[in-house]
Structures are given as structure tokens and as C-alpha cells.
């Protein structure tokens, strides 16, 4: 039976130990990996979590190695083109250049319906969320980004400069592209 230790849980300097046999949902035990992810999200919301980026899935999703566990992370408040959409491959390449193989710090915001951790991600000192928008490789996700988020101004600057996807005559936002694909 495995024990999972998370550093600085809840802001306490002592470690939080999660024993999988004590974690239940209804009458079923949660697998160790799921228990780890639940504990990580619960204990680190608003805290900085260090790791290393080991994979980039697309322009707004990557995998970070945290405490020898892989954590799938969705960049908060942005939405990048889907891989089959114009600029999708460019967006993935951009996030890879920013983050792949580099140390990362996650400012955890929560978890989405696909069980990905939602976070602001800093890779080697660069705010990856803002940089993707600045490069014109992602939209500010207006459905989730607060009205006072600086990402709105970053997107406006990228659009004004016709950077990345903003060089297209009529770029289609990923949420509209997904809706049309249904």
C-alpha cells in the first residue's frame, strides 16, 4: 500500500500524508493516482507547486512531473486552437518552446470536468498563459477569465499587432470551432 506525501499542504510546513485505503467515494476506493490528484488540488489551490514539464499535448494543455507523479494541466483562463484547427499545431509548438523540459511552477486554480488541474503556469520564469496569448497562439477564455484579468489587454495588443492567429482574416475561437464540429 502506497503513501502519498504532498509538501506544504494547506500552507502548513509539515507534509500531508494521504493513505489510499482511507480515501473512499461512495463504496469504492479511489485509485492511488486519483487520490493523489484530488489531494494535490485540494491542498494546493492558490499555492505554488514546483515541477518539470514532461509533455505538451496542445497549446493549452501540458503534463508536469510533480513529486514523481505526472499531472495533466490545463492553462487557466486561455483557450488555444484545437490541433485540427488553423494555428493548432503552431500553438502546440509555441507552448513546447516555452515549457517542454523546463522547470515549471503551477498556481493551481482547481480541476476541470476532465480531471485536469487548472493552473497559471510559469515555465523557466515566463508566464506561459500570458505568453501564449501575447504570441497570438491562444485566446483569452472570456467564459472563465475575470473581467479585470490582464490577459484581455494582452490579447488586444496581440490582435492589434496581427500576431499569430490574429494575422488571419477571420480567426475562429476554439469554443466556436468545437461547437460547430458537434
Give the pLDDT confidence of 7-21 residue by residue, as tens digits.
Answer: 444 433 333 333 343
In the chain, pLDDT over 90 holds for what percent of residues? 73
Choose the final residue of a domain: 44, 59, 79: 44
How far apart (Å, rounded) are the C-alpha atoms in residues 95 and 77? 15
Beta partners for 78?
Answer: 140
Same-domain status, 135 and 69: yes
Q: Please give the biggest Cα pair distance in the chain.
A: 57
Taking residues 146-173, what's their average pLDDT?
Answer: 97
**Which residue out of 67, 68, 69, 74 is catalytically annotated?**
74
Query: Which pTM value belongs to this model?
Result: 0.78
What's the gap between Cα 150 and its chain centre? 17
Which pLDDT band holds residue 47 (cuts at 50, 70, 90)? confident
Cβ atoms of 38 and 6 within 8 Å: the answer is no
Same-domain status, 68 and 147: yes
Query: Is 74 labeled as catalytic in the residue annotation?
Result: yes
54: cell is 514532461
Query: Is 109 labeled as catalytic in the residue annotation?
Result: no
Query: Is 93 labeled as catalytic in the residue annotation?
Result: no
46 by DSSP, 3-state: which? coil
Same-domain status, 22 and 92: no
**Which residue out of 109, 116, 120, 135 is catalytically annotated?**
116
- Triad 64, 37, 142: Cα angle to 5°: 70
Same-domain status, 84 and 142: yes
How far apart (Å, rounded) are the C-alpha atoms in residues 10 and 39? 10
- How many domains, in total, are found in the chain? 2
Amino acid at each position: 500500500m502506497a503513501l502519498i506525501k504532498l509538501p506544504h499542504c494547506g500552507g502548513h510546513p509539515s507534509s500531508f500524508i494521504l493513505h489510499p485505503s482511507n480515501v473512499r467515494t461512495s463504496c469504492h476506493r479511489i485509485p492511488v493516482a486519483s487520490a493523489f490528484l484530488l489531494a494535490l488540488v485540494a491542498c494546493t489551490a492558490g499555492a505554488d507547486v514546483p515541477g518539470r514539464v514532461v509533455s505538451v499535448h496542445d497549446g493549452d494543455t501540458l503534463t508536469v512531473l510533480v513529486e514523481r507523479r505526472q499531472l495533466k494541466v490545463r492553462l487557466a483562463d486561455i483557450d488555444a486552437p484545437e490541433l485540427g484547427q488553423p494555428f493548432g499545431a503552431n500553438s502546440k509548438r509555441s507552448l513546447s518552446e516555452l515549457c517542454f523540459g523546463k522547470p515549471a511552477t503551477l498556481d493551481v486554480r482547481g480541476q476541470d470536468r476532465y480531471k485536469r488541474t487548472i493552473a497559471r503556469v510559469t515555465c523557466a520564469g515566463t508566464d506561459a498563459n500570458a505568453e501564449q496569448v501575447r504570441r497570438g497562439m491562444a485566446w483569452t477564455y472570456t467564459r472563465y477569465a475575470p473581467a479585470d484579468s490582464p490577459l484581455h489587454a494582452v490579447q488586444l495588443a496581440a490582435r492589434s499587432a496581427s500576431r499569430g492567429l490574429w494575422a488571419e482574416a477571420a480567426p475562429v475561437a476554439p469554443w466556436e470551432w468545437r461547437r460547430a464540429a458537434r
